[in-house]
Amino acid sequence: MTERHDFDLLVIGGGSAGVRCARMAAQRGARVALAEAAALGGTCVNVGCIPKKLYSYAAGYAEAFVESAGYGWDGPPPTLDWKRLKQARAKEIGRLNGVYGNLLKAAGVTVLEGWAKLDGPHTVSVGGKRHSARHIVLATGGMPHVPDVPGREFVVTSEQMFDLDPFPRRLVVVGGGYIACEMASIFHGLGAEVTLLQRGGGLLAGFDGDVRRFIASEMGRAGVEVKLNWPVEAITRHADGSLCVTSAHGSICDTDVVLYATGRKPLTAGLGLEAVGVALNDQGAVVVDADYRSSVPSIFAIGDISSSKQLTPVALAEAMALVDTLFGDGKRKVDYDLVPTAVFTHPNIGTVGLTEEQSRNEFGADDVEIYRSDFRSLRHTLSGSQERSLVKLVVRKSTDQVLGLHMVGPDAGEIVQGFAVAMRTGATKAVFDSTIGVHPTFAEEFVTLREPAVDD
């Protein structure tokens, strides 16, 4: 006789992956519950993608106001009302929280408010009440990681940046990944004096080398002070509340806020995983197979708690694939190749496919050809800005296939999305060359690259 459970599926975590998984499973007729201890929407909606992009837009207006003088616009310099920006953002996030709740309600999902903890392979406790489920899905996402540096109690993480009070006139950002670079760009654009400290020799590890060098140069040109090979040794607080950051290279004192953006780790603590026997890897992520099943057959994990690609669209795709595995024909799978991504620095970064370094390692240096252009966009011929843009194609000689596409410039994410579709069809350099560009646009640069780049 089949064991009777309260639910067919119980999802722990109400972020992008969890809400999508619960909603789609319920729409297929499953009895579904979702447990969440905080606001619905997870990191992306509440303290990640959405507020970050909104603040990036805000910073962009400041740049546009300055550039408008070159186009004949005159007027007094505008000032930022930080409190009003925060209120507008909070209102929009609250609206989105409601949207997520309504979607779950409409699908028939039971929402359990409170911290969830595994009591067994089929049992979860929420707020002291036990619930059983045939399948349990872990979708709790990740959280910022701050190393054990002296003075860490004085720092903030990206999750506190959106509600700082007051606005920081001086900001030190520690880290060199996409969150560090984005926050440095955004808060500089909003009016803060920003210094970015990176312990290594370059920004954005894992991105294409040309992109890494180019964005460091452009951020510096814009006014962000970028210090590489600058490991932090301690943070101290002065009597007036200001902070001082020190390393073997010296000190940066009298800053208002120190942001640590040194990576994220899976949120697994306090879930009872160890007691139930859910295996974790060396990075603390849940170990799963190709169907997102953990070491405990009834427990699955999707999104940032288990995925090597910590991106919201990837989490959504994993949720859809898992629902199809549990309540469908199991044919839906996630292809992790050619996943496009964007970094909302100023200027933006967009990328899809292999880097030059990855391509040379995989296919050999002689079988890889690079096409690249570094230029000042038409917009800035009148704006007065010295900002430059970069486009780059990585091509395999023997097949003519475009292996990687990378750009730094305005609306990079919007542009790369379309090219990602072409690359998934196996587009070759010849196809790019035969495509007529839209003139005058930034994107047309990708179909006008004719001569291979010659490196120094």
Is the pLDDT at 123 greater than 70, yes or no?
Answer: yes
Does residue 145 have an active-site annotation?
Answer: no
- Torsion, Cα 415 420 422 424, to 10 degrees, reads 180
Mean pLDDT across the stretch 5-9? 98
Quick one: fold of 341-447? Enolase-like; domain 1 (3.30.390)
pLDDT at site 1: 37
CA 357/CA 30 separation, integer angstroms: 46
pLDDT in tens, 189-217: 999 999 999 999 999 999 999 999 999 99
Q: pLDDT category, 2, cuts 50, 70, 90? A: low
- Scanning 333-440, the segments in alpha helix (DSSP H) are 356-363, 380-383, 412-424, 429-434
* Nearest to 145, CA basis, from 132, 159, 135, 134: 159
pLDDT at site 307: 87
CA 148/CA 225 separation, integer angstroms: 25
Is the pLDDT at 455 greater than 90, yes or no?
Answer: no
Active-site residue, selected from the candidate residues 5, 346, 380, 439: 439
Write down the pTM of the prediction. Answer: 0.96
Q: Is 395 helix (H, G, I), strand (E, B) or coil?
A: strand
Instruction: Provide, rounded to the nearest whole percent, the portion of the chain with pLDDT above 70.
Output: 99
In whole numbers, what is the pLDDT of the chain averaged over residues?
97
CA 137/CA 122 separation, integer angstroms: 10
Provide the pairing of β-strand 402-408 with 341-343. unpaired
pLDDT at site 26: 98
In CATH, what is the architecture of 152-262? 3-Layer(bba) Sandwich (3.50)
Q: Where are the domains of the chain?
A: 7-144+265-327, 152-262, 341-447
Domain 7-144+265-327 matches domain 152-262 at the CATH topology level? yes
CATH of domain 7-144+265-327: 3.50.50.60
